[in-house]
Structure 1
Amino acid sequence: MAQGRISKRSVDALVCPSGKDRIFLWDDALAGFGVAAFPTGKKVYVAQFRKDGRSRRIAIGDHGRLTPDEARSQAKMVLGSVETGADPIAERKATREVRTFRAVADDFLNLHITPKRKSRTAAEYRRLLDLHLLPAVGSKRILDVRRADLSMLHARMVDTPRAANHCLALASAIWNWASRRDEVTSADNPAKGIERYPEQGRERFLTTEELSRLGIALAEGETIGLTYEIDETKPKAKHAANVENRRVKLDPFAVAAIRLLILTGARLREILDAQWAHIDFERGIIFLPDSKTGRKPVYLSAAAQLILASLPRIEGNPHIIAGAKEGAPRADLKKPWAAVCRAAGLEGVRLHDLRHSFASFGAGASLGLPIIGKLLGHTQPATTARYAHLDLDPLRRAVNTIGATIAAAMHGGNDGKRVAIVKFKKR
């Protein structure tokens, strides 16, 4: 076993003899510090120590990438940690076993989200991961993901603030899930402390006049049809029908679905996926076995029940809003809703705004937020609280009370009682 001062000259001169797989040169000044030379010409600095009665050896780095002095400094740290009871080999192995953010995120989806959340939630999380998070930090070990990485991603998504905030929330959820499995520490969550973008509320409430235009457009759509436009510059435009004959009727199931959405405040998929077997006509309720918030009753007004009574049942299709495919519900309402909005002049109104409008009329009638939340299927009172400012009657009562008290005081009354005012004759 060769010994001597490990220096650049001595390491450069070290050559592995023919027939051997390696040769060592051990430093005579720092016990346990050495360099190994291989037949390929590769030379690696090592540190050797005893742990639990066994001789152990750990590689420090390649000669060329490290100078002898740099390797000696690292060897001192390794050998010093052994003296304090550490096991550098076990620590290195544990470090190598730390999984990437991508691996942890995949397990988060497969083991936590898919079996416990709605399929649409899992699909949205997968979309955010594939489009944004994984390209940015997917290849990093999860312990190496820093706040700076997520801050840069968040900054790049400034044009889509809502998606940017959702990415931060998802990264935080993945980290917290990993912390519950002892892979990371929750206190080191890199998504903490990053200021989110302000998000503009997207709630839109239809007025009574807008609802009237909506009703007229739906009536025209199912009777004489709605007008449509074509590009007169296209070659086939000359073969199109005359302007006065350019009308198309809406699918009666699509019209019924839109009316049910505004009359029940239900979500789109709750109406499209509902089946005839779910309806209790005697009690006026659609009992949905599953929804965004689990099992849910959708309460039917007399107007909603009339719509259901007018719909035909398609043999072999259990769904109320039958689709084109046999036995399947209608896929969506994008095209008929766009046509209705054009005809009614409802620019920028989404189907989900019908749900907001249902709640706004309930709040305006002072039905109370708990009742409105029950009708909408909200599980948290805070979700319904967004409609509190629409409850006008309590505000009217409050302002009338305050106004009467102030007016009485100004007129010299006591205890809120109004006193007579004496008018003086003009001279």
Structure 2
Amino acid sequence: MVAANLAANHKYSHSHHSQKATPMRDVEITLGTIYKTGGRWRGAITTGYDGTGKRVRKYISAKTRSEVKRRQLELYRRLLTKQKQPEKITVETWSAQWLEQIAPKGVSPRVLQNLQSAHRRHIVPTLGKYKLADLGIEEVLELDQAVEKSGVSGRTQQAVRSALSTCLDAAVEWGKMDSNPCKRVKRPQARSATRTALAAKDAAHILEFSRAAKDPLFSLWASYLLLGFRRAELIALEWDRLDLERGLVDLSWQVQQIPWRHGPKCGCREGKPAVQCPRREHAVKPGQEFRELRASRILVRPKTAASIRMTPIPGPLLMVLRQHRDTARPNPYSLVWASESGLPLDPRIVTREWKKLQKSAGYEPVDLHSTRHTTASLLLAAGVPVEVIVQILGHSDVASTRRYAHLDQTMARAAMEKLGAILPLTGGV
């Protein structure tokens, strides 16, 4: 009744010209009936008349009658206030445009890669054929259910939802749709798994097992446990950033594998993969500092200032790294660790080899990233102050509120020597 009264009080007058000389008439924006057809509910709004005197209607569809009613009233109010109608663009079309032209300017290469994966594997297959204007609560829930049925983790479910929401936020900003329906649907729940850390004796046993087996990655595992660095930091480490005379390591670069994008004015046909573009370029943010490594792998600066740090090397590890320097094969990239063929290490292979080592040593595999927790636990057990651990491990969340950028290296070195005493490395490589 309220909608009917509103419709009666809002009239738009238009002059229509046609070959049939139809008379000019007042045009009412009126709500039509809601009905079900083909398994979906449908509603209409009369917005005027064409040149022959026929009514012009706009149609809304959804899976439920209540959702059609909501969209119908939303469109009705928008027309009354002369707001722009959402464009008839599909989710698939907008997704491709957003990922190619808009998203790369605002996110890191790693985040862009994750967004592309979420859209390619989940969002486009489920919602790609829907028009942006037709997206509502039911469609968001449809995606959530499809992602859950695919068997991925709760964290991945949340990531997919976030990828859709971010994409739709941009659609709203660019005037492609009026509101983001993700804002009206509760985010999928995810149960956080508790990360486990190796005890000191277990870490020492695994390292001793690796050394005795003449594992070519022994020095890498020792560095993980005694330095607490991230995988991307150690894989990217170059010899000129490893000072084995003063016992310092410079963590100013990380390795990332990022997607390609078409180069400017490349002239490629539509649909041609960016990797085949003769003028392809790395899909990095404008102004982002990076260095070429190999193929799609590049070296980039860490995402936070706290992650760029100079860390002392404990005595036992310094001995191991010097032995590794004397026996390691040179590689074209001057990396401290490389494959047998001289190529940069594949992060997935490093993770696989770490799990294989633990199983061979008789342990249930602990996630490689958890070695950082092991290092932190050992430093705490050695009585190292928290602010020193913050700098050593480059914890950005703590460093953002507690500034220890100018921590005396003497304190950090003393801390690392305590760690070396708790986790000694017997023998050589």
Query: What value does the CA root-mean-square deviation take over the aligned residues?
Result: 4.0
Unpaired runs of 5+ residues, structure 2, are 1-17, 29-45, 59-75, 254-299, 403-429
Structural mapping, 1:27-426, within 5 Å: 48=49, 60=56, 95=85, 97-158=87-148, 159=151, 160-185=153-178, 188-222=180-214, 250=215, 252=216, 254-281=217-244, 282=246, 284-289=248-253, 290-294=300-304, 296-297=308-309, 299=311, 300-311=313-324, 312=328, 314=330, 316-326=332-342, 328-329=344-345, 332-381=349-398
After superposition, the Cα gap between the structure-2 partners of 1:306 and 1:109, relative to the gap in structure 1 and judged at 3 Å, is farther
Q: Could you give the per-residue CA deviations for residues 356-386 of structure 1, whole angstroms, max 9, x where no partner exists?
A: 211222234453444323222222229999x
Q: CA deviation at 1:319?
A: 0.6
After superposition, the Cα gap between the structure-2 partners of 1:327 and 1:156, relative to the gap in structure 1 and judged at 3 Å, is closer
Q: 1:363·1:369 contact (CA, 8 Å) conserved in 2?
A: yes
Q: 1:278·1:286 contact (CA, 8 Å) conserved in 2?
A: yes
Q: CA deviation at 1:165?
A: 1.2
- What SS does the aligned partner of 1:176 have? helix
After superposition, the Cα gap between the structure-2 partners of 1:118 and 1:156, relative to the gap in structure 1 and judged at 3 Å, is same
Q: Could you give the per-residue CA deviations for residues 123-151 of structure 1, whole angstroms, max 9, x where no partner exists?
A: 22211111111122222232322122222
Unpaired runs of 5+ residues, structure 1, are 1-21, 34-44, 50-54, 63-79, 223-249, 386-427
Q: CA deviation at 1:339?
A: 2.8
Q: 2:135·2:181 contact (CA, 8 Å) conserved in 1?
A: no
After superposition, the Cα gap between the structure-2 partners of 1:141 and 1:378, relative to the gap in structure 1 and judged at 3 Å, is farther
After superposition, the Cα gap between the structure-2 partners of 1:327 and 1:166, relative to the gap in structure 1 and judged at 3 Å, is closer
Q: In the alignment, what sits opposite 1:14?
A: none
Q: 1:324·1:330 contact (CA, 8 Å) conserved in 2?
A: no
**2-structure distance, mates of 1:57, 1:276:** 80
After superposition, the Cα gap between the structure-2 partners of 1:141 and 1:25, relative to the gap in structure 1 and judged at 3 Å, is same
**Which amino acid is the alignment partner of residue 126 of structure 1?**
Q
- What SS does the aligned partner of 1:140 have? coil
Q: 2:235·2:344 contact (CA, 8 Å) conserved in 1?
A: no
Q: CA deviation at 1:185?
A: 5.0
Aligned length, in residue pairs: 293
Q: 2:158·2:190 contact (CA, 8 Å) conserved in 1?
A: no
Q: CA deviation at 1:201?
A: 2.2
After superposition, the Cα gap between the structure-2 partners of 1:59 and 1:319, relative to the gap in structure 1 and judged at 3 Å, is farther
The normalised TM-score by structure 1 is 0.57
After superposition, the Cα gap between the structure-2 partners of 1:326 and 1:208, relative to the gap in structure 1 and judged at 3 Å, is closer
**1-structure distance, mates of 2:90, 2:195:** 39
- What SS does the aligned partner of 1:60 have? strand
**Which amino acid is the alignment partner of residue 128 of structure 1?**
A
Q: CA deviation at 1:174?
A: 1.9
Q: 2:86·2:133 contact (CA, 8 Å) conserved in 1?
A: no
After superposition, the Cα gap between the structure-2 partners of 1:172 and 1:333, relative to the gap in structure 1 and judged at 3 Å, is same
**2-structure distance, mates of 1:384, 1:308:** 34
Identity of aligned residues (%): 14
Q: CA deviation at 1:178?
A: 3.3
**1-structure distance, mates of 2:171, 2:47:** 34
- What SS does the aligned partner of 1:190 have? helix
Q: CA deviation at 1:32?
A: 7.8
**1-structure distance, mates of 2:207, 2:360:** 11
**1-structure distance, mates of 2:383, 2:89:** 55
**2-structure distance, mates of 1:167, 1:23:** 53
Q: Could you give the per-residue CA deviations for residues 61-118 of structure 1, whole angstroms, max 9, x where no partner exists?
A: 79xxxxxxxxxxxxxxxxx99xx9887xxx7xx5473533333333433344434544
Q: 1:263·1:303 contact (CA, 8 Å) conserved in 2?
A: no
**2-structure distance, mates of 1:354, 1:127:** 27
Q: 1:101·1:138 contact (CA, 8 Å) conserved in 2?
A: yes
- Higher Cα radius of gyration: 1
Q: 1:321·1:330 contact (CA, 8 Å) conserved in 2?
A: no
Q: CA deviation at 1:192?
A: 4.2
- What SS does the aligned partner of 2:195 have? coil
**1-structure distance, mates of 2:343, 2:92:** 39
- What SS does the aligned partner of 2:213 have? helix
Q: 1:216·1:344 contact (CA, 8 Å) conserved in 2?
A: no
Q: CA deviation at 1:285?
A: 2.1
Q: CA deviation at 1:191?
A: 4.1
